[in-house]
Amino acid sequence: MLNLTGVYHIASGAESIAARARALAVEQSVEMPLEAITSAAVRDDIVGTVEDIRDLGGGTFEVRIALAAATTGNEPGQIMNMLFGNASILGDVTLVDAVFPAEMVSALPGPNIGIAGLKQRVQATTRRALTCSALKPQGLSPGELASLAAAMAEGGLDFIKDDHGLADQRYSPFAERVAAIALAIRATGAGTAYVPSLTGTLDDIRRGTALARDNGLAAIMVAPMISGVATLAAIARENPDMAVMAHPALAGVARIAPALLIGKLFRLFGADAVVFPNHGGRFGYSREECGRLAANARLAVQGKRDAMPVPAGGMTLDRVDEILDFYGPDTMLLIGGNLLSAGDRLTSEARRLQERVAAHRYA
């Protein structure tokens, strides 16, 4: 049954697009000459077919290809593989969207606590956006990072996450760092939630999650394109009370539209909050792509919680109003470097961010 749709953009001439589309349908399903397939079941139920071809102009065509969800066994890695494994090596093909059958959606974990759960965690009203900052630079000792975290927490931020560069490093071992930071934040009396970044194998990430739990934490961050999406799903499933934040590191490698990869797939695989580079910062995502990503993260999906969009990447305090007007209150603002630049005034700048977000009147 061809019940999984991949939507691709192909750079092609009009005269060759039909053949290119058929070739892509074969590439992403059986990957061999059709005339050599003798099994009728494979021909009917497994070989991908071209559902639609639409000329987008400028030498780009949108092609919808129907694939068999049965080939994925509803396993996250295999879903990536069947949607884009080989096609990722074709220089002129982009995966822009996918439509999943209900059975696949139901078999995937989705977010554990979703947007409402994240807001509850930090006792925010549903009518305001959340705030977040990042602990960096890497290279600091656990004590130095803990001091930064305390200063931010005193400013009242909702979430503080590790920089995705923090790992298990000699100068700042994971266990020591997480304990020091968790303790420093707790000592402030603030309701700030700390989100440590977990790296390594599934075993390492499991150990890190357990250690976070031992330190009274209830949220963790992983980078699914580095850890593997199956690791994200396993950790989300095994820790139903934990909020999982997904970081986009290495996500730019494959030509997969961020709105699909980060907005839909990371969410389906278990992310409660998805970090992505906001438009107008250092990175290449357009305003429209960011809007689509946030919309996908919050889309109503039967039986699945929504995921919190977390725009980040070179954001500044003076953009807060503009960003909130664009994303609305179901958003977590992540401002790292700009806040850290405040130096001695870190707490007061964190408080200023927190108050501006709380006071914002949405258009």
Binding segment toward its own copies, per CB under 8 A, in 26-34, 56-64, 98-106, 178-186: 26-34
Return all residues near 355 (Cβ < 8 A) that are at least 6 apart: 156
Minimum gap (Å) between residue 144 Cβ and its own copies: 7
Distance CA 297, CA 259 (A): 8
- By CB under 8 A, the residues from 79 to 98 that bind its own copies are 80-82, 84-92
Q: Does 75 bind its own copies (CB under 8 A)?
A: yes
- CA-wise closest residue to 105 among 310, 300, 255, 239: 300
Burial grade of 230 (CB within 10 A; 0-12, 13-18, 19 or more): middle
Return all residues near 31 (Cβ < 8 A) that are at least 6 apart: 86
Among 19, 103, 171, 325, binds its own copies (CB under 8 A): 171
User: Are 117 and 126 a contacting pair, CB within 8 Å?
Assistant: no
Return all residues near 50 (Cβ < 8 A) that are at least 6 apart: 18, 21, 22, 25, 63, 64, 65, 66
Q: How many residues does the chain have?
A: 363
Q: For its own copies, give the closer residue by CB, 193 or 234.
A: 234
Among 9, 64, 136, 267, binds its own copies (CB under 8 A): 136
Q: For its own copies, give the closer residue by CB, 171 or 362.
A: 171
Tokens of 36: 């050599």
Q: Does 326 bind its own copies (CB under 8 A)?
A: no
Among 207, 321, 337, 351, binds its own copies (CB under 8 A): 337
Q: Does 101 bind its own copies (CB under 8 A)?
A: no
User: Are 276 and 229 a contacting pair, CB within 8 Å?
Assistant: no
Binding segment toward its own copies, per CB under 8 A, in 52-60, 78-86, 103-111, 298-306: 78-86
**332: helix, coil or strand?**
strand
User: Are 109 and 269 a contacting pair, CB within 8 Å?
Assistant: yes
Query: What value does the CA radius of gyration of the chain take, rounded to a whole number of Å?
Result: 22
Minimum gap (Å) between residue 81 Cβ and its own copies: 5
Tokens of 355: 């108050």
Minimum gap (Å) between residue 28 Cβ and its own copies: 9
Minimum gap (Å) between residue 334 Cβ and its own copies: 12
Tokens of 262: 């980060």
Minimum gap (Å) between residue 228 Cβ and its own copies: 3
- By CB under 8 A, the residues from 50 to 69 that bind its own copies are 68
Minimum gap (Å) between residue 45 Cβ and its own copies: 7
* 323, containing H or E segment: helix 320-327
Q: Does 39 bind its own copies (CB under 8 A)?
A: yes
- By CB under 8 A, the residues from 185 to 204 that bind its own copies are 199-204
Q: Does 294 bind its own copies (CB under 8 A)?
A: no
Q: Does 316 bind its own copies (CB under 8 A)?
A: no
Q: Does 288 bind its own copies (CB under 8 A)?
A: no
Minimum gap (Å) between residue 254 Cβ and its own copies: 5
Among 49, 138, 188, 215, binds its own copies (CB under 8 A): 138
- By CB under 8 A, the residues from 220 to 279 that bind its own copies are 223, 225-231, 233-234, 248-256, 277
User: Are 274 and 263 a contacting pair, CB within 8 Å?
Assistant: yes
What is the identity of the amino acid at 351? R
Q: Does 41 bind its own copies (CB under 8 A)?
A: yes
Tokens of 356: 């501006």
Q: Does 23 bind its own copies (CB under 8 A)?
A: yes
